[in-house]
Structure 1
Amino acid sequence: MKRVLLTFFFLVSFIGFSQDTEDSAVEGELNATVINAQNGFPMVSVHVINLNKVVGTITDQDGTFTIPAAVNDTLYFTFLGFKSEKVRVTGDMFKFEGTEVALTELAYALEEVIVRPYQLTGYLEIDVKNLPINNAYQYSISGLQTSYEGGNKSPSAVTKVLGAILNPADLLRNLFGKKPKQMRKLQQMKQDDDIRDLLASKFDRETLTELLQLEKVDIEDILNNCNYSRSFINTANDLQILDAISSCYEEYRVLNRR
């Protein structure tokens, strides 16, 4: 009786192990459809990103998409006015057709919108004097690849630039040295047109945090220490933020090799 039980448990364990091994080996082109959770209609132009492989695509007129994926990869779905979703890829998604991902519409409470924050008269000479001036001074350092935005006051700007000149390697090493995996994704993100198109339309840093696996505060810390102004950090779209981080990281790599 003991032998029978042992044999039974061995077979069950072996079958389970074989199934796990088979599922984990599944990789290829994944096909699925994105629908509106409220009405079941297919959704067009939804951005789909594989966070593991750092590749993206968009849904077609039928709401369908095809993307390179493997079991346990995470797909990130985003569409304006809908709640972003993360979905873990399973073996069944490859085995069976008809996989659907439902997105839920967000309800926004619209607040009063001020169309004209500045009182304009229509006379250029007068209106130019009333518009705010951006004092985000930029400085270029010979030997480095990008310029530096110093901030709202020139003395502070000069101080930051001098700090970067005196000890740039240590500054950047503290920023990027502890995040090698996240930073290696930067080049992949810059090369994917679908991801770049998505980031160019977003200002909330949500997609960036998912792709880089960083918190918003980490992104701001990187930009602050790379001498980008508060004005740039607050107003730039996600693609501009990506390019800024990437440029700063390339400087780190050059200085680190030296």
Structure 2
Amino acid sequence: MNKKMAEYIQQNNGEIIAKWQELMKNEKNERSFQMMPQDLMDQTSKEFADLMLSNLLESHQAYESRLNDFAEKVVRLGWSVTFVTKAIDHFSEVVFEGMEDAGLITQENFRAFFKEFNNWIIPIRDSTVATYSKTWERTVSLQKIALQELSASLIPVFDKVSVMPLVGTIDTERARLIMENLLEGVVNHRAEVVLLDITGVPVVDTMVAHHIIQAADAVRLVGAKCMLVGIRPEIAQTIVTLGINLNEFTTTSTLQRGVEQALAWTNRKIVEVEAE
């Protein structure tokens, strides 16, 4: 029966993919498939059909290789795991109904084919979901590491003056990374003034403020001054409401003002030079 199923899919591949695409487009809660360019949709649909067919014809190793490649692709395309399982169910539905219409599945062999379809679909659904989940977790982990590295670097802007732009939510793990990079950067760049720019931090609560205060204290211990810049009005209001004490900080609303203050601390200033 596996052979008959495989032959039917191979002989009617184009028609199956077309019907499957229509079912996928009708999934109203999922826009990722509907928003795809037609050429990308056709290519992805063919790869999916080949994946479903390979589970019937190819070795387990070859199928696993296809599955890993496809899982990485749909994660990049933004497919949810629910959408992936619907894709599998819709494909089997199209094939089953097509084989019924072609007279290959009859009342006499219905139960046998139904059992064979379950033996085909259930394992492929389980393995696909498992592979998708691993791929998604690995992707999220890599993205998190990349964000941490990008948003916790100390950047020298002038001699003795460095800036650390903070982006995104600051949790305990990120606070540890910020502290390490901050202290290492102060020593390596011989910074005397460090500006912590929180323009890109969406929320400053008690925990975030605690991490920032700890970082400033650590900077002072290695002989540098720390300034907090990028305090937006809503952040200032939150700090006051929560009763967070930032009295030991010099704070400014913008990075530009912070740089001007940092230069003053190092006995320098920005002056305009008239063109001759």
TM superposition score normalised by structure 2: 0.25
User: Which has the higher relative contact order, 1 or 2, with Cα contacts under 8 A spaced 6 or more apart?
Assistant: 1
* Structure showing greater Rg: 2
Question: Relative to total residues, which structure has the larger helix share, 1 or 2?
Answer: 2
